[in-house]
């Protein structure tokens, strides 16, 4: 196995007295789907926020092995720079540019590349040929992802007017338009129906295979996680409690306990616990 694309060690995030993430370590490989799971409030999104430059971690090291630029410590970069080094995310509660069209959303995603090509607007203002070629290439890339995610019919619609499922797809298309090394998805299946979820699974497997990038995802949908993940990390109360292949995680005592609660706690109604247990034992490849 080659050295992992992303190596997180000792990640800690404190908010005042609250320790949201406590010494978490995890890795993500290129060409693999890595899942991050855990009960609500376990600190998954906080880990994402540290990773993608939205929070500055209290402690820890976020090492990215960039094929061209060597080793980069993400926690030292200004927040917006993280995406420029190939770590791009989506959001749990979808953050599109609602009054811009789908195509425009995907064009904004290519801003970092296009800005110098527009001569920082000078060449663009003059309409020089070099800029026009660059713009056309950007449109072609956007078109590729629009077609790939089945958004052709709505490409010129305002993103805010689309259905929930479509918005989720636009967000993935937008992230992919930046040509990431590591795609971080925060609950991409939330709010999707089973058919859409299955399609999402196929899409992610396809992206992994075709483009060989790393995918890191937070998800609650166990059928999806168990179906597509190469490796799963489990966090609870800000600590990592388990790591392994889907098969290993399914049989891990601590994971089951984290999800079902200690027997004496009885926080979870019986039927919910049953559902969860079922989810955990499922292995339905979408």
Partner 1 sequence: MASTIIARLPARLRDAALAALLALVLGIPFIGLQTLSTDQGLAIGTRWPWLLAAAAVIFAGRLLFAILADLLAERRRTARAGRSLVSEALAGRLTRGFGIGAALFALTLPFLPFSDRYVLDIGMTALIYILLGMGLNVTVGLAGLLDLGFVAFYAIGAYTFALLSKFFGFGFWLSLPLSGLVAASFGVLLSLPILRLRGDYLAIVTLGFGEITRIILLNWQSLTGGPNGVSGIPRPSLFGLSFDRRPPEGLGSFHEVTGIAFSGEHRLMFLYFVALGLVLVASWGVWRLRHLPIGRSWEALREDEIACRSLGINPTASKVSAYATGAFLGGLAGCFFAARQGFVSPESFTFIESALILAIVVLGGMGSQIGVVIAALFIVLLPEFARDFADYRMLIFGAAMILIMIWRPQGLLSNREPTLRLAGRSAAGDSAAKEATP
Partner 2 sequence: MDSAVALGTFLQHLINGLTLGAIYGLIAIGYTMVYGIIRMINFAHGEIYMIGAFVGVTGFTLLSAAGVGSVALGLLAVLVVSILFTAAYGWTVERVAYRPLRGAPKLAPLISAIGMSILLQNYVMLTQGARPKPLQPVLVGGLTLWRGENFDLSISYIQLFIMLLTLVLMLGFTQLIQRTPLGRAQRACEQDRTMAALLGINVDRTISLTFVMGASLAAVAGVLVTMYYGVIDFFIGFLAGMKAFTAAVLGGIGSLPGAMLGGVLIGLIEAFFTGYVSGAYKDVAAFSVLILVLVLRPTGLLGRPDIEKV
> Minimal distance in Å, beta carbon 57 to partner 2?
14
Q: Is 237 in the site for partner 1 (CB under 8 A)?
A: no
Could you tell which of partner 2, partner 1, none binds residue 214, using a CB distance below 5 to 8 A set by kind? none
What is the Cα–Cα distance from 79 to 85, expressed in whole angstroms? Answer: 11
Q: Is 91 in the site for partner 2 (CB under 8 A)?
A: yes
Burial of 114 (0-12, 13-18, 19+ CB in 10 A): middle
Could you tell which of partner 1, partner 2, none binds residue 49, using a CB distance below 5 to 8 A set by kind? partner 2
27, 29, 30, 49: residue in contact with partner 2 (rule CB under 8 A): 49
Stretch that binds partner 1, among 117-125, 216-224, 241-249, 251-259 (CB under 8 A): 117-125
CA-closest candidate to residue 12, choices 76, 72, 64, 55: 55
CA-closest candidate to residue 42, choices 187, 164, 175: 187
Q: Is 105 in the site for partner 2 (CB under 8 A)?
A: no
Measured CA distances, 66 to 49, 70, 72, 211 (Å): 20, 5, 7, 15
Helix (H) or strand (E) holding 15: strand 6-15
Taking the alpha carbons at both ends of the chain, their separation in whole angstroms is: 27
Contact predicate 262/238, CB 8 Å: no
Number of residues engaging partner 1 in binding (CB under 8 A): 63
The angle formed by the CA atoms of residues 267, 271 and 274, to the nearest 5 degrees, is 95
Site string for partner 2, 53-82 (x = CB under 8 A): -x----------------------------
> Minimal distance in Å, beta carbon 246 to partner 1?
26
Residues near partner 1 (CB under 8 A): 52-54, 78-84, 86, 88-89, 91, 95-101, 103-104, 107-112, 114-115, 118, 120-121, 124-125, 127, 136-137, 139-146, 152, 155-156, 158, 174-181, 210-213
């Amino acid at each position: 196995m080659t050295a992992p694309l992303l190596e997180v060690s000792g990640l800690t995030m404190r908010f005042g007295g609250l320790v949201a993430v406590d010494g978490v370590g995890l890795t993500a490989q290129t060409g693999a789907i890595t899942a991050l799971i855990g009960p609500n409030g376990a600190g998954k999104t906080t880990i994402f926020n540290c990773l993608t430059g939205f929070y500055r971690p209290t402690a820890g090291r976020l090492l990215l092995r960039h094929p061209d630029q060597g080793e980069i410590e993400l926690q030292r970069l200004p927040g917006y720079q993280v995406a420029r080094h190939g770590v791009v995310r989506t959001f749990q509660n979808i953050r599109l540019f609602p009054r811009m069209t789908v195509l425009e959303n995907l064009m904004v995603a290519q801003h970092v590349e296009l800005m110098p090509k527009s001569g920082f607007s000078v060449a663009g203002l003059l309409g020089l040929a070099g800029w026009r070629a660059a713009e056309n290439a950007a449109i072609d890339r956007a078109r590729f992802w629009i077609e790939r995610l089945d958004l052709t019919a709505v490409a010129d619609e305002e993103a805010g007017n689309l259905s929930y499922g479509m918005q989720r797809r636009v967000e993935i298309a937008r992230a992919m338009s930046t040509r990431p090394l590591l795609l971080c998805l925060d609950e991409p299946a939330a709010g999707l129906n089973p058919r859409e979820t299955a399609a999402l699974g196929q899409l992610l497997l396809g992206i992994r295979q075709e483009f060989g990038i790393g995918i890191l995802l937070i998800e609650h949908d166990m059928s999806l996680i168990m179906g597509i993940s190469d490796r799963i990390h489990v966090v609870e109360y800000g600590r990592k409690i388990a790591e392994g292949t889907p098969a290993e995680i399914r049989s891990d005592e601590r994971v089951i306990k984290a999800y079902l609660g200690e027997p004496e706690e009885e926080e979870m109604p019986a039927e919910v616990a049953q559902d969860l247990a079922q989810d955990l034992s499922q292995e339905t490849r979408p």
